[in-house]
Amino acid sequence: MQARKRLNELVHKRANAFDTTICHNNVYEAVQGHHDHGVDLERYVSVAEDIYELSTDEDLEDRRLDVFGAAEEINDHIDDVVDEVIAAALVDLLKVVDDWEDAWSDDEIADAKVEARDWLQGHSEAAKRAGVWDEVTA
């Protein structure tokens, strides 16, 4: 249950970084796992939480710092994976958002496209790892 709570906090933090409602909602759903972008993030978070808990085990004595370091590395990997999920979600959004004029105004769609492109340009490494960089630069 701790992993779900931590993932929810991560989802809110990352989605709230977007100003447009279209990007915010799309990122929220993607990171939450409602789209097929990459791995099960909750599983990664759960593993990290388990390792953090293990790092407090008195029986490990001199290995506790190594275990804690492993949990920190997994956390860094989680951040990278989240960026990849966001990159893939934003590229998908750019492909379909023009068809959403029945639900969103032209200005809202235009603003979302600018914000998505800006984020992707600023996170080129994530877009490359996600395999969507060619689409970003096309």
C-alpha separations of 39 from 33, 35, 42, 90 in Å: 9, 10, 9, 17
pTM recorded for the entire structure: 0.85
Q: What is the DSSP letter of 101?
A: T
Segments making up each domain of the chain, as ranges: 2-42+81-137
pLDDT score, position 35: 53
pLDDT in tens, the chain (138 residues): 677 788 888 889 999 999 999 999 999 999 887 555 455 777 878 888 888 777 777 776 777 777 778 888 888 888 898 999 999 999 999 999 999 999 999 999 999 999 999 999 999 999 999 999 988 887
